[in-house]
Amino acid sequence: MTHEERSETLKKIFSHKIPAVVMCRGLDAFPEMITHATESGIPILQTDTTTSDFMGEVIRWLNVQLAPRTTMHGVLVDVYGEGILIIGESGIGKSEVALELIKRGHRLIADDAVEIKRVSHETIVGSCPELIRYFIEVRGVGIINVEQMFGVQSVKEAQGIDLIIKFESWENGKQYDRLGLEAEYMDILGNQIVCHTIPVRPGRNLAMICESAAINRRQKKMGYNAAQDLSERIMGNIDS
């Protein structure tokens, strides 16, 4: 383009009040671009990354920032790489179980309030409000700063939610799932997340149950289902 054509074209572009112009691959802006950008009050940014890489990062970032979100009461922990959201009525022992899991080497993401974002059709990510990040309330003891007490290896900023464990008070006579052949799900922001209901009563090692649930979940992802394996063995024994 000639100087006049370029200037007129850029004037039309900047008249749309765009938020910013990004020059990729380290390219410098034309003098006419700087002139019209200054007149319009529109910043010009520069990056050494390629256009495709830059657009990919921007789209990924926007997907996270603009994702549908909600806040749930519960505790989110990283157990063997699996994000476990522990929910249940207040005072049932969610924070105490999280504290025991942290002592066993697992990591805390959020206690009490879990901010959840739906970043894709398959993935929801949980984090903690910055104001209460890495703090746990333990009834009878008070507030504990997990990061200060157990070190930075005991905490994590965000984690995808792979499994929900719901604590409820044990009810005599109620039938609880003992085999796990049919998975139960909970809907969060349109995503179906596997949910286990765990009855709580004195003497149950809930931290160990959470660990076992996390390992079992990983095995299922890798194609092994213990309940299905046992069922097939029993049916094979009956047939023989």
Rounded CA-CA distance 168/119 in Å is: 29
CATH code for the domain defined by 3-65: 3.40.1390.20
Domain assignments of the chain as residue spans, ordered by start: 3-65, 69-228
In the set 3, 25, 73, 204, the catalytic residue is 73
Rounded-to-10 torsion of CA 86, 88, 90, 92: -80
Fold agreement (3-65, 69-228): no
CATH superfamily of 69-228: P-loop containing nucleotide triphosphate hydrolases (3.40.50.300)
Rounded CA-CA distance 199/38 in Å is: 65
Residues 6+ apart with CB under 8 A from 195: 163, 164, 165, 166, 184, 185, 186
In the set 112, 133, 218, 220, the catalytic residue is 112
The pLDDT, as a whole number, for residue 240 is: 65
In the set 36, 78, 94, 217, the catalytic residue is 94
Is residue 78 annotated as part of the catalytic site, yes or no? no
CA angle 182, 186, 189 (to 5 degrees): 145
Is residue 94 annotated as part of the catalytic site, yes or no? yes
Q: Going residue by residue through the chain (240 aa), what tens digit of pLDDT does each one get?
A: 888 888 899 989 988 889 999 999 999 998 889 999 999 999 999 999 999 999 999 998 888 888 899 999 999 999 999 999 999 998 888 999 999 999 999 999 999 999 999 988 888 999 999 999 999 988 888 899 999 999 999 999 999 999 999 999 988 878 777 777 788 999 999 999 999 999 998 888 999 999 999 999 999 989 998 888 888 888 888 876
The pLDDT, as a whole number, for residue 122 is: 86
Closest CA to 86 of 136, 123, 130: 136
Residues 6+ apart with CB under 8 A from 56: none
CB atoms within 10 A of CB 4: 9
Distances (CA, A) of 205 to 145, 173, 198: 24, 21, 11
In the set 178, 187, 201, 239, the catalytic residue is 178
The pLDDT, as a whole number, for residue 64 is: 82
How far is C-alpha 66 from the geometric centre of its chain's CA atoms? 14
Rounded CA-CA distance 76/79 in Å is: 10
Is residue 112 annotated as part of the catalytic site, yes or no? yes
Closest CA to 72 of 184, 208, 193, 206: 193
